[in-house]
Structure 1
Amino acid sequence: MTRIGIILGSTRPGRNGEAVARWAYEIASRRTDAEFELVDLVDYKLPLLDEAYPAAMGQYSQPHTHAWAQKIASFDGFVIVTPEYNHSVPGALKNAIDFLHAEWVDKAVGFVSYGSTGGTRAVEHLRLIAGELQMADVRSQVALSLFTDFENFSTFKPADGQRDTLATTFDQVVRWANALAPLRAGRHDR
């Protein structure tokens, strides 16, 4: 069965992302085309990157890196839930991505973002990062506005159409994850 990780990319106390990620996971868990798991960065307690060697070398030395690598390696694709901070990606999410390399390669990725402009600028940066990691980013994106998908900027109440966009995002991620399976199977660095 294809495995898709829904990564909650914010570690900020009181984060809106927790409600967003749980909403995405709840919808995903009703699907039968893949197995979905919610992965919360808070649970991995990753410090600022503390590995001596670049991740592309695969010479991880820290126990937290090994735990994170094992979790990410277990998936065929991802949906990353991200806020937009200062027109970009949250530092904790970028840090978590930078800890690893081979574990991301040849996997599909989609995005659920939120912010004053729907988090779209953070996703544009994530698409560049995904390209460098040889990930296939899907076209569909859920962009949640703090003005229209949240009450008082904090209570998550997605507009009706967002569910359909999320379904399309999941469809595309699962299809691409399956299409990339032969590439992952042929790799010797896993």
Structure 2
Amino acid sequence: METAQSRSRSRQQATRPGAVSAFARFVVCGGGVGLASSFAVGALAAWIPWVLANALVTAVSTLLATELHARFTFGAGGRASRRQHAQSAGSAVAAYAVTCMAMLALRQLVETPDPVLEQVAYLSASAFAGVARFAVLRLVVFARNHSQAADALRGPRTLPATVARTAAPANSAELCRAA
């Protein structure tokens, strides 16, 4: 017999926020972590090379953000699994590359950019990468059913009219007799 508490937990796990709600939560969680990361990268870069500071901060912030997204943003119902952390890390590597390229481009354009300009460049690149990460996390990493996620990526499918009208045998015995 199911208790009220377990029914409530099951309902919470089955409820997945809509795309707009999930994106708003993603912006709050991911944006908050990203903003803190921005300042952390700047502070660490005073002692170590910027690329290394960005790598360290990206690793730590990805772990934190993945947990927040699993628990709050995408309604996964608990802690992120190892698989989800690994998949999220893949999208973070892409985000790391985008932020590094943006900072390298900035340094090619401006010999010694001031810290405010660096923050603008870093946060702009992070926002661009964040939108792509949202799509990957929602459709792949935290998708309830991976076959549904794959269908969403492929787009709507329609069956040919002849297949749609043909009735399949009700059970395997009928299938064997039909052959």
Which one has the bigger helix percentage? 2
Shared fold by TM > 0.5?
A: no
Q: Given the two structures, how large is their TM-score scaled by the length of structure 1? A: 0.31
Which one has the bigger strand percentage? 1
| Larger relative contact order, structure 1 or 2 (CA cutoff 8 Å, min sep 6) | 1
